[in-house]
Structure 1
């Protein structure tokens, strides 16, 4: 159980950390996604900060388990919102968001199972 918890937490943190960097450096992909979802581009850095906070929170959860649980729950909510934003505009490009969502759910599930 411990190995699964550590592996999934680190992978989820890395995935979200990479996504956060693309949002924060002003890469074209997050901007195009914001335009497609009709989200103001001014939200892109904020969304990047939320991803970064989730990524760092997952890692901080190794020292303070409550932080990891809260970070994983926050990422689950973030990706629920992302998937809903896709559906709101009629987009069916859900695979990427679904993978991130599944990783966040797995991290939350393993965190809660392991610590609580």
Structure 2
């Protein structure tokens, strides 16, 4: 559980921070996805909030579950954008892998608290 928590929190923490800082690659991805840099920064803040919630989920399980739900919602939006843009599998794969990781985290966390 700890390793999965660290992986999920690290992925979304790093990606969220990159969006907030509007690093060049994130600016390109924002434009490709049809988002303004400001809107992409907002997504980054949500990702950082989700990462924080997952990290704190060990101490406050309900927070971890809510964070996982929020991250899954963000990922549903990401997959929708990828499909709308007719992206190929290599572009979809990171979001699909993240869905799997967050779903596993939620399943393990719920099993530990439920």
Tell whether the structures are fold-level matches, with TM greater than 0.5: yes
The whole-number CA distance in structure 1 between the counterparts of 2:54 and 2:44 is 15
Question: 2:24 matched to which residue of 1?
Answer: 28
The whole-number CA distance in structure 2 between the counterparts of 1:109 and 1:29 is 32
C-alpha displacement at 1:58, in angstroms? Answer: 0.5
The TM-score with structure 1 as length reference comes to 0.90
Q: Runs (4+) of structure 1 moved beyond 3 Å?
A: none
The whole-number CA distance in structure 1 between the counterparts of 2:103 and 2:72 is 6
The whole-number CA distance in structure 2 between the counterparts of 1:22 and 1:67 is 24
Q: Structure 1: which 5+ runs fail to align?
A: none
The TM-score with structure 2 as length reference comes to 0.91
Question: 1:113 matched to which residue of 2?
Answer: 111
RMSD: 1.1
C-alpha displacement at 1:21, in angstroms? Answer: 1.4
Q: Structure 2: which 5+ runs fail to align?
A: none
Question: 1:61 matched to which residue of 2?
Answer: 57
C-alpha displacement at 1:109, in angstroms? Answer: 1.2
C-alpha displacement at 1:66, in angstroms? Answer: 0.2
Count residues with an aligned counterpart.
112
